[in-house]
Structure 1
Amino acid sequence: MTTVIHRPNRRAALGLAGALLAAPALRAQTAWPNGPIRIVVPFAPGGSTDVVARLAAPGLTRRLGQPVVVENRSGGAGSIGADAVAKSRPDGQTLLLTFDSHAVLAALLPRLSFNLTEDLDPVMLIGGAPYVIGTRADKPYRGLGDLVAAAKARPDGVSYASAGNGTLGHLTMILLQARTGVSMPHIAYRGGGPAVSDAIAGNVEAVIGSAALLMPQVEGGALRALAQFGPARLPSLPAVPTAEEAGFPGLQAVAWWGVFAPAGTPAPIVARVNAALRETFEAEDLRRQLEQTQQARLVLSDPGGLKTFFDQQIETWGRVVRDNNVRPD
């Protein structure tokens, strides 16, 4: 009798071996999340980024089935918290929710300990709010053109406040001065609150900050908004022109919030986080809160949308930092 020896097909054997090796990874991926999820906010409590994260956390907890906790790790213009996330395990248990200044870190801090685009993967662009420039209500300025005219008439005599060197407010005013040929002294504060307070006190002629920062004082009558730097007027500032409408085409600056994960986080986990964020922010009560308290226009992009936007922000504002040798406070 002839004995027939069946030799296993090499391709099938390799496929079986690959499946066996992949099984633990697939099981781990399916089990995600398998413990508390940290959202690192790289700024102190109380700012807009912290507010956005804490508003989102309860909804994410419900949708992901694990506690979502917000951890503030401030310092280094946001670089310390971002670095901690960049060096975390890419398992979906640690996320970064950060602000517009994230895009200028590499230009502002040449010795940055991580790579903005290689060490962090985009998850979602949540949305943004325009920067607004305002003055004390009893100042004579009625629009951005009036402020520029005064700066031309009084070189170095029209000062403005911002939340600090290298913030988008500061960089926007650098662009404005370059376009108009005026020189306006910059008074950098450690945060938006003190900058607004000194503008109300009359110690500076103007203040620039996010719409969320200035709106309470504008609505209360202490400040007058001269221009907003978004692509369109906010519903809450219908009578205040955009900078483009005021005669400064292309001059836009938007405060934005984005979510990132450590590079290498599995795509299915990133997709699930993105979906949970979208469902959370689309809830009517949360959307209304963000629109009213942060003057936010929600975008809720996919990861690719954040990547495209973020790359553009790095290019635009990084160039301003480098060309003007801007350094942090």
Structure 2
Amino acid sequence: MTHRLNHRAGRSGPPRLGRRLALGLAGAALAAPALRAQSAAIRIIVPFAPGGSTDAVARLAAPGLTQRLGHPVIVENRSGAAGAIGTEAVVKAAPDGQTWLLTFDSHAVLPALLPNLAFNITRDLDPVMLIGGAPYVLATRPDRPFRSLSEFVAAAKAQPDAISYGSTGNGTIGHLTMVLLQSRTGTRMAHLPYRGGGLAVNDTVAGHVDAMIGSAALVAPHIAGGTLRALAQFGPTRLPALAPVETAEEAGFPGLQAEAWWGVFAPSGTPTSGIDRMNAALRESLTEERVRRQMEETQQARLVLSDPAGLRTFLDRQIEVWGGVVRSNAIRAD
């Protein structure tokens, strides 16, 4: 009898324990990827160095996105090649909603400026949102003789190649705006490309260059402080912070618009549901009162917060306009 009881225990006790252990291990193995997915950080790649407006916009949005998406959101700077290095990292990332690109207006110029790109910006990236824009502004020292865009152009006509202007780099939208202005007015100006907006501002304030073109976020504090005077803003309407400054169109240059802008993209093939979720989270995060105020005051931004289709249409137009300026003037990156 004892033998039979022990025999039954030997057959039935340990196998049940083994099955439970095996099932538990299998469940843990299946749960591990899910747990990792829940805790995995979402990356927003900014293809420029820290400190610029694109980096600032990403970091303003990140806390709200963390809250709404339920994952930590990390801003990762990958600068170089006019934004191409960071953009390529996103193109090569898995389309799983873990990696996003937040980039700047120069994105639209990449195909024309760098014809040997290893990716196609319209085929290899899916649009998510046009966040908004801020006009480019032409500014000079207050003691310079020109007080408007018309007077600046007149001085350039009178002295070909003598009037100089700085920009934040060769092939940037600011530079291309001035190239377009010269082609429309038959003027020639000396271009000084800088490696950053701060350097261009410093040399303009110091009088080493006659004028500079930069985003409103870059020059507005210096205009308010009296170290620079705005000659024109290139947005569709006047900014509240620069209400006395006429737009280029008001100055007699129809269609001459140039805005810094920020857009969000995903690797091609990212599920529509994921794109829509990110779009909604961005919209809610950027319309928080504190964030919206900082965007409008610090970045001088006109918020758009478009749907994906709106960004696609906008980007196509930007590529057409600025790519044409690059190609017709044989402009190359520094």
The reply to whether residue 73 of structure 1 matches residue 69 of structure 2 is no
Between the aligned partners of 1:140 and 1:301, the Cα distance in structure 2 is 41
Q: Percent identity among equivalent residues? A: 69
1:198-225 alpha-carbon deviations (Å, 9 max, x no partner): 1111111110000001011101100000
Which residue among 147, 163, 188 is the counterpart of 1:158? 163
Q: Which runs of 5+ in 1 are unaligned?
A: 1-27
Q: 1:192 aligns with which of 191, 194, 197?
A: 197
Q: Residue 155 of structure 1 aligns to a residue in which SS?
A: coil
Offset at residue 33 of structure 1 (A): 6.1
2:87 is the counterpart of 1:82: yes
8 Å contact from structure 1 (residues 32, 269) kept in 2: no
2:249 to 233, 241, 244: 244
Cross-structure match for 1:5: none
1:1-329 correspondence runs (5 A): 35-329=40-334
Q: What corresponds to 2:9 in structure 1?
A: none
Report the residue type matching 2:328 in the other structure: D
CA apart distance, 1:35: 1.8
- The answer (yes or no) to whether the contact 1:33–1:64 under 8 Å persists in 2 is no
Structure 2 vs 1, CA of residues 34 and 311 (structure 1 numbering), >3 Å: closer, same or farther?
A: farther
- Assess if the C-alpha contact under 8 Å between 1:123 and 1:302 holds in 2: yes
Greater per-residue helix proportion: 2
Partner of residue 4, structure 1: none
> How far apart are 1:141 and its partner, in Å?
1.1
Distance 2:80 2:296 in 1: 28
Q: Deviations over 1:266-310 (max 9, x none)?
A: 000000000000000111110000100000000000000000000
TM-score, normalization by structure 1? 0.90
Paired residues in the alignment total 301
Contact persistence 1:100–1:256 (CA under 8 A): yes
CA shift at 1:48, angstroms?
Answer: 0.1
3-state SS, counterpart of residue 173 of structure 1: helix
Q: Which amino acid is 1:231 matched to?
A: P
Letter in 1 for 2:182: Q
Q: CA deviation at 1:124?
A: 0.2
1:11 aligned residue:
none
1: CA distance, partners of 2:219 / 2:37: 41
* Counterpart-to-counterpart distance in 1, 2:119 and 2:81: 13
3-state DSSP class of the match of 2:242? coil
Runs of 4+ aligned residues of structure 1 deviating over 6 Å after TM superposition are none
Secondary structure of residue in 2 paired with 1:236: helix
SS state of the match for residue 130, structure 2? strand
**What is the distance in 1 between the residues matched to 2:56 and 2:310?**
23
Q: CA RMSD in A?
A: 1.3
